[in-house]
Amino acid sequence: MPKQTRKLNIRSRFVFVIALAAVFLLVALYLVWQRYSRPLLNFSESPVPVTPTINPAYTGVEDCRRLPKFFENIGIGPNPLVGTSFRSYVGFVVYDRNGSKKYIQHYTWREAGNLGGFINDRQGNFYVIPVPFVSVELNPPEKQTILYRIDSISGIMAPVLTLPAALPPSTTNPFGLMGLGLDCETNSLYVTSVAGSSAARELGRIFRIDLGSMQVADEYDGVDAIGVGVFKGVSGKRLYYGAARAPLVFSIALNEQGDFVGEPHEEFSVANVPGVGNQRVRRINFINPQEMSIRSVEFNFSLRASNEVPSDLITFNYDPITDSWTAGKAMPYQPEP
């Protein structure tokens, strides 16, 4: 074979290898862009429907909650699941169970590490809080009092407010914000915090945030609470919360603006409820005028104890004559899909 022909063959192979490498590089860059610049269409709260099932007669407290507008932009099917405890995912996740059957996660939804409670408002914005899980590697204690919002239009998650702690974070308490509750009538978001507390000192706070100004409008100090929810009974509107130090549920009165009035009142204990025992109430929901549902979890300010499977869903029935609650049925815990 002539030398010139051999040179052309070598040059052609070299050009082919370079072109092939360029193609692989472009594909790799595209995949990286897909992963970090937009929702992943391949996709420490358990997954729940975006909007709860609420009796139409039960209005004024959470009935204003709406779906995010960005759901339409990425083609999510009806009634998706949202959660912060899906297997193999860190942060906030949407599961399109009635559409593409895919898990969806924008890259900003994992930037705050492991997340806990979440709730959506009348505009479709989601509010989420960080909660350490197993270790503080992804959740440094100094960042556990930051409230995040997932924008209804863009889907981007960003900090909106840092809530003050009674004392700086310590190695004995890696937790900060713990629970979220919404009141549509006063456009208020209630946030519980145990930041600054220790096993020996109860220094937690419950905040009322005005969602219009995104500022703290009121706070109740000296209470370590986890789950929280608003309910209107015969004695008026009250904020219910699960104590972080005992298997108890308390409530405190709210005025017309949503501010705290008076002192907390002990509503009931869950110590004798099967499947709950000495656990703490971490989620409180009201789905109709006579029914409250709760979930509980082991909690003693340590990460190990907080890394347990949540309890069954327990309902409590409201008696307007006595203005009190009694334990109802239990629904077995359903793990995330």
Highest mean pLDDT among 213-227, 275-289, 301-315: 213-227
Question: Domain total for the chain?
Answer: 1
8 A C-beta contact, residue 84 and residue 118: yes
Domain membership of residue 190 (yes or no) is: yes
8 A C-beta contact, residue 323 and residue 235: yes
Domain membership of residue 216 (yes or no) is: yes
Q: What is the pLDDT of residue 31?
A: 47
8 A C-beta contact, residue 325 and residue 248: no
State the Cα–Cα distance between residues 215 and 196, nearest whole angstrom: 21
Can you name the residues that pair with 294 across neighbouring β-strands?
A: 284, 314
Domain membership of residue 3 (yes or no) is: no
Domain ranges, residue 47: 38-331
More confident call, 225 vs 60: 225
Sign of the torsion formed by the C-alpha atoms of 139, 140, 145 and 149? negative
Domain membership of residue 197 (yes or no) is: yes
pLDDT tens, 111-149? 999 999 999 999 999 999 999 987 889 999 999 999 999
Considering only CA atoms, which of 92, 45, 81 is closest in space to residue 295? 45
For residue 107, the tally of other CB atoms under 10 A from its CB is: 15
Residue 241 tokens read as 């919360």
Q: Any idea what the CATH number is for the domain that residue 259 is in?
A: 2.120.10.30
Q: What is the pTM of this model?
A: 0.82
Domain membership of residue 21 (yes or no) is: no
For residue 120, the tally of other CB atoms under 10 A from its CB is: 23
Q: What is the pLDDT of residue 88?
A: 84
8 A C-beta contact, residue 96 and residue 72: no
Give the neighbor-by-neighbor strand order of the sheet with 126-130: 115-120, 126-130, 146-150, 157-162
CA 184 to chain centroid, in Å, comes to 18
DSSP H/E element including 318: strand 313-319
Domain membership of residue 292 (yes or no) is: yes
Domain membership of residue 296 (yes or no) is: yes
In percent, how much of the chain has pLDDT > 70? 77
| 225: helix, strand or coil | strand
